[in-house]
Structure 1
Amino acid sequence: MNSKCDFSKQMEQKVQAVEAVLQEYLPKQKGYQSVIMEAMCYSLLAGGKRLRPLLMSETARLFGEHSLALKPFMAAIEMIHTYSLVHDDLPAMDNDEYRRGRKTTHVVYGENMGILAGDALLNYAFETAFRAFVMDPEESLTIGRALTVLGEKAGIYGMIGGQVIDVKETGREVSKEILDTIYELKTAALIEASMMIGAILGGASEEEVRMVEQIARNVGVAFQIQDDILDVTSTSEVLGKPVHSDEKNEKTTYVTLMGIEEAGRAVEELSEEAISLLHQLPEENHFLEQLLCQLIHRDR
């Protein structure tokens, strides 16, 4: 019990630290276009667990180095994640009216501003990440590697690619192979980016970065399968977003493909492999291990 309380207290403190980083990099609301900055801030400050920047900072800590470039990348990854949610909620996509317990961006600002707010967050994420070159010019090569990962994992070979397949296959049953590809790209890619960038900025070797990528892939896929399960078993009040949305949108999920029990087993297998790989890395970060377990086995 004490361990659980201690983790919760650490989590609260670390999330507050992430919130402070986001505040530091928020766009200034000025000019005739200030409504877009307002919509961006509304989306970005809607709450959430801040898991991706947390995973980035804790993975960097795992390798024992603190890079000056870490903060802008932490803000950037959360901006990219947020833009993906803003676009996911649009009428042309999932058409959701609530996210994290409050009205979605397009409901508050209109569909046109919802589209533009997502676009703006994506572009501003890279504007923010580029600041790392000024903050730590001696680490230009390392920052360049981190930017390459960020771009690839967020793009057509990562999250956007997964979203494309997801949209294309909605309304018809897909194979497990295609479903795994969607989950690996749409959900796992940004978790991979978070942990890989943390490893790169923390001074990890290329081999260690690849191990971190596999850990993150397992965690990301398990996370999405757990999301499938919660969409069926939880409530809107607990999740802060509509449930049964997969059924409404006629999406194949692990639950529709193999049932809740088998889906739960897949979560267990993926998480066990991820933790086993984590233990093979030369250093330990007990908080990171707990965070990964909480992320996979969450109930909301």
Structure 2
Amino acid sequence: MPKENKIKKIIYKDISWYKLEKPTETQLLKLKEKFNFHPLDIEDCMEKIQRPKLDIYHDYIFMGLHLPYWSEKENRLKTTEINVFLGKTFLITVSDYKILLLDELFYKAKQDPKKRARFFGRSTSRLFHFIFNQLILNINPLMREVGKKIDTIDRKVLQGKYKDVFEKISEMRRSLIVFDTIIKPQIPIFRKLESGRAGNLDTKNAQYWGNLVDRLQFIQEQIEDYLQILEGLAITNESLLSYKTNEIIKILTIFSVILLPLTLISGIYGMNIETLPLASSPSSFIVVSGLMLSIAVIMLLFFKYKKWL
């Protein structure tokens, strides 16, 4: 039987931060009984929710939030979920897997009294703002990595690696669309909190909720910019590929046109008709070959003059 992760806890003045990682049903039910949480919120913690959500009650707020991370193993963007119970005297974070930055913040708050005082501030809202703000800032390296991958695609477009570019653009588009579906739905959640519609919780931290809105909007704008760049690269790559294909078809067509009269002449002289000009002449092969070569050269010069070559 797998070992059950303990519920970790930090207390600062009258504020408590509980941190659960891969919680069991028993642990969640204990929290439900202690804080009188709604059963549907506990159910959301047990099952992965498809979209971020916000439920406001008279004595606490429940938020189901998503964070992006890059899976090197699968080479694509994936989502992790963090559920938050926010009351006047408690903050409970429930994650479906180990979030290293969250562990680091919890450890610093537990070990260092000065950092604990700075993290917790004067309310649970300030504590949550500090934590989630750090988690959002942690997305910036991921955005820079996405930018580097797009720069690599740009270079490959110029190098003419069409097939590889097509696959990379498709993969990056898919990742950015997933990224957008993670970030975009969370903006209305914090905008609603910024407006002061947070039940009986303190409404003096509107600027902090607004700060989270600004950060999420900035990330969303970056995602939209990257999608536009990828769209442009896809169009450029398709145009270059079409141009290369047309060039190949043009060259093949020119060779076909040059060979057409030569094929006609060789076909006529291959019928073994004695009345054909030069049919019985010992120099017929040289003359006919010279004629065919002259026709080919004249046609090549004509195509060159017309700038078709």
Structure whose residues are more often strand by fraction: 2
- TM-score by length of structure 1 reads 0.31
For the pair shown, the structure with the greater C-alpha radius of gyration is 2
If asked which structure has higher relative contact order (CA below 8 Å, sep 6+), I would say 1
Structure whose residues are more often helix by fraction: 1
